[in-house]
Amino acid sequence: MAERITVDPVTRIEGHLRVDCDIKDGKITNAWASGQMWRGLEIILKGRDPREAWLFAQRICGVCTTVHAITSVRAVENALNMEIPLNAQYIRNIIIAAHGIHDHIVHFYHLSALDWVDIVSALKADPKAASTLAQSLSPWPNNGVQKFKAVQDKMKKFVESGQLGIFANGYWGHPAMKLPPEVNLIATAHYLEAFEYQRKANQIVSILGSKTPHIQNLAVGGVANPINPDSQSALNMERLAYVKALMVELEDFIRNVYLVDLAVVGGLYADWLPYGRGVTNYLSVPDFPMDTKGTKFWTMGGYIPNNDLNKFQPITSFNDPIFKNGVKESIKHSWYEGDWTRHPYEEDTVPKYTDFQHDGKYSWVKAPTFNGEPAQVGPLANVLAMYVAGHKPTQKYAKLVLEKIGAIAKTDVGLDALHSTLGRHATRCIRANVLYDILLENYNALIGNIANGDMDAYNPPDFPKGEQTGFGFHEAPRGTLSHWVVIKDGKIKNYQCVVPSTWNAGPRNQEDKHGPYEASLIGNPVADLEKPLEVLRTLHSFDPCMACAIHLHDQKKTNIVHFNHTHGV
Ligand code: NFE
Ligand code: MG
């Protein structure tokens, strides 16, 4: 007999996710992922001026704020067949690279490290031993005894006062927590430092985007702020020098802290490498355009069906027909009117809530498919695509990360280990390191272009009469994001967003196949039904954002876990 548990809401994510699992003999045998709130940005956008769509669309989320802005202008530019000045491409690229790095740091440390790191155990650590260990792994200057002692004293004060603050409600002492106290102390210290470094990445976004969250510097056709190296009120050399200073600090943290911590956690939890595989159709898109049209890119993407790297189909331009024709969404199990599978241009969004029906409709998330199949998106999909496409920086950092994990685990860890809960963390770290290289290349390209006297940053759009369709995509921190727009006589007739967390959090599709969250939970161990830490580990590895998945908003809920005892499931 299986026992059903409901985790609602899942915390340390954005938005409201409910997950139901059937558990038998200590393992998950079935799962349902349910997005729990809906707002309807797609409806709000109808009838509006396509030039302002991005300002609304980026309010879909307060976490991946820039990504909907970028994708929205790309969709409208695609509908109008526009070219974008090189400076604008570079500025956008720097913004999205910095945003991606910020997002990956926050995810690893602040949203998921505590699934693996036991803060309370860190109190028992010997700061000297922690320092010796940390210094043997990395040249990071803040790994001294005094630093670790100070962090430990700070944590002791928290615990003695009975106020764990941001560390309250962790599953401390859980049997699945395996790190030695010294490693827990190192990770706790870096958790706190990571707040500073994610902020530096976000400062780059705010300098070039004029504000964060929710940048203000975009426009359909380019970017809105003028470039003038000598003007105080434009993008000038002083601002660009500040961006460079932030980049240098960021690089040190990504290479010498994030990468090392990831390898330590991955290596010491090698027993977790078999868990969390799930859907192995992988979708990602190329990004960081190098030209004005979006036909050459710094990063690659494509579709890998059924984990067969030999069947990789590259996606190669902002007009790629493989992508354009491959995406559909189904609502058989989602709280919308009807039961259809449609291409985004043909979709509608008509909410119709019923109760949670395990065999029927149970989520606000639609179920996207690529060529008719559920697909996993995210850094894992993107790293696999870039690896097979021969992207040198990806191969370099992937080999480095796998070698380091293997050295700590004292076993060979190959590419196949990446199809897992820990693999999603490892590939996010690989991608953060790749993003840094791209950030630097775009920074140098922008400086070079300005030095050559090119100050162009905007081409004005022109809306003809009649109907145009367009799509824009972006490889966002959580994976492939696309916006699809139908424009009629200069106004939005239909607007659909197919978002990374929609791909991954989607419910069963039209053929009742599990979405990626659901599939990856099946087979996971659960040691303590009242503290389903393992469920959180696997869910968090996707970095869920339900605000994006359903384009929704916030509501208070209190229960964390409750049980339904069901029979014979
Ligand atoms: Ni709200 Fe997002 C990203 C988008 S969603 S975080 O990355 O798009 O999954
Ligand atoms: Mg949508």
Q: What is the pLDDT of residues 315-356, one digit of tens each?
A: 999 999 999 999 999 999 999 999 999 999 999 889 999 999
Q: What is the pLDDT of residues 137-150, one digit of tens each?
A: 999 999 999 999 99
Task: Look at residues 560, 505, 566, 542 and name the one whose alpha carbon lies nearest to residue 7.
Answer: 560
Using the mean position of ligand 2's atoms as its centre, give its distance from the Cα of residue 457 in Å: 30
DSSP 330-356: E-TTBSBSS--EE-GGG----B-----
Is residue 240 within 8 A of residue 447, CB to CB? The reply is yes
For residue 555, is pLDDT > 60?
no
For ligand 1, whether the C-beta of 63 sits within 6 Å is: yes
Segment 255-261 mean pLDDT: 98
Task: Please enumerate in sequence order all residues whose Cβ is within 8 A of that of 171, keeping only pairs 6 or more positions apart, or say none.
Answer: 177, 531, 533
| Distance, CA of 303 to CA of 283 (rounded, Å) | 5
Ligand nearest to the CA of 484: 2
Using the mean position of ligand 1's atoms as its centre, give its distance from the Cα of residue 124 in Å: 38
Q: What is the pLDDT of residues 156-214, one digit of tens each?
A: 988 888 777 767 767 888 999 999 999 999 999 999 999 999 999 999 999 999 999 99
Three-state SS for 339?
Answer: coil
Segment 398-426 mean pLDDT: 97
For ligand 1, whether the C-beta of 505 sits within 6 Å is: no
Segment 285-298 mean pLDDT: 97
Task: Look at residues 103, 99, 54, 288 and name the one whose alpha carbon lies nearest to residue 205.
Answer: 99
- Between 131 and 120, where is the model more confident? 131
Task: Look at residues 447, 418, 456 and name the one whose alpha carbon lies nearest to residue 541.
Answer: 418
pLDDT of residue 559: 43
Helices within 46-126 (DSSP H only): 53-57, 65-79, 86-105, 119-122
pTM score, whole prediction: 0.95
Q: What is the pLDDT of residues 534-546, one digit of tens each?
A: 999 999 999 999 8
Instruction: Name the DSSP class of 118.
Output: -
Out of 1-10, 127-136, 185-194, 512-521, least confident range:
1-10
Q: Quick one: pLDDT band at residue 564, thresholds 50, 70, 90?
A: very low
Pocket test for ligand 1, best of 61, 376, 377 (most atoms within 8 A of CB): 61
For ligand 1, whether the C-beta of 475 sits within 6 Å is: no
Dig out the tokens for 125 from the structure.
């650590």
Residues paired with residue 497 on neighbouring β-strands, in sequence order: 483
Strand order, beta sheet including 313-315? 282-284, 301-304, 313-315
For residue 556, is pLDDT > 80?
no
Cβ atoms within 10 Å, residue 306: 10
Three-state SS for 477?
Answer: coil
Segment 411-419 mean pLDDT: 96
For ligand 1, whether the C-beta of 365 sits within 6 Å is: no
Instruction: Name the DSSP class of 515.
Output: P
Q: Catalytic site residues? A: 14, 61, 64, 68, 478, 501, 545, 548
Q: What is the pLDDT of residues 225-234, one digit of tens each?
A: 999 998 998 9
| Distance, CA of 206 to CA of 198 (rounded, Å) | 12
Q: Quick one: pLDDT band at residue 561, thresholds 50, 70, 90?
A: low
For ligand 1, whether the C-beta of 28 sits within 6 Å is: no
